[in-house]
Structure 1
Amino acid sequence: MALTIWHNPRCSKSRQTLALLQERGLDPVIRDYQKEPPTMAELQDAMMKLDQPAAALMRWKDTDLSKDAGENAILSALAANPKLIERPLVLTDTAARIGRPPEAVLEIL
């Protein structure tokens, strides 16, 4: 199973989620999404794997964008400014979960 974490090493939840995966013997691909921002296609794929609207990927406290904004506006904002992406995000080939709390990612393993 392919396993990737969109990781921010400065975020405690992101560090806790990565540690949780590693403690279980998993070796995810670690992607610092702020240094290597996801493309619009990758954001759309993540949204589909989450089975939630694009709004679930947004860190709302860090933006002035309205929660009523459309999917494309939200995804465009995330692509243009990756620090707005909710973290951490763990992805497999078929599913994704946001690690808040970190244990939430265990649902897809």
Structure 2
Amino acid sequence: MIKIYHNPRCSKSRQGLEILEKSGNLFEIIKYLDVVPSEEELSEIIKMLGISPIELVRKTEKIWKENYKGKELSNSEIIKAMVENPKLIERPIVINNKKAVVGRPPESILSII
């Protein structure tokens, strides 16, 4: 089943959800600010995305700028920072089987559904 890691307050995330709704596919909504993925889950998502952890970080967030920007962090430290501060996770993330995309732009979701 398709999963969307969703933040209802984010316009891109809402647009991604709309794409899934129009697709007619069954999907599960994971409000990741409420149900935070574990370090293991986030590592698996990053692997499916084919990116490094830093590429999933929202570097414009205040939390990042005040606590992490400019520091030498390992991949595991970056993942831990995202789990501790889920607002740092780029959104929306859509997973279909073992394929995943960050819905920026939202239309990129179409490539895996």
Q: How does the TM-score come out when normalised to structure 1?
A: 0.93
Question: How is 1:50-89 mapped onto 2 (pairs within 5 angstroms)?
Answer: 50-62=49-61, 63-64=64-65, 65-66=68-69, 68-89=72-93
Deviation above 6 Å: which 4+ runs of structure 1?
none
Mean Cα displacement is larger for which, 56-65 or 31-40? 56-65
Query: Displacement, 1:76?
Result: 0.5
Q: Distance in 1 between matches of 2:85 and 2:110?
A: 28
Instruction: Return the letter of the residue paired with 1:84.
Output: L
Shift of 1:27: 2.6
SS in 1 for 2:60: helix
Partners of 2:29 and 2:103 in 1: CA distance: 14
- Aligned to 2:29, the other structure's residue is in SS state strand
Question: Match of 2:109, SS?
Answer: helix
Give the Cα–Cα distance (whole angstroms) in 1 for the partners of residues 19 and 36 of structure 2.
Answer: 24
Q: Indicate the RMSD between aligned Cα atoms, in angstroms.
A: 1.2
Corresponding residue number in structure 2 for 1:41: 40
Aligned length: 108
TM-score (ref. length: structure 2): 0.90
* Percentage of identical aligned residues: 38
Between structure 1 and structure 2, the one with the greater Rg is: 2
Distance 1:33 1:7 in 2: 6
Q: In 2, Cα distance between the equivalents of 1:74 and 1:45? A: 14
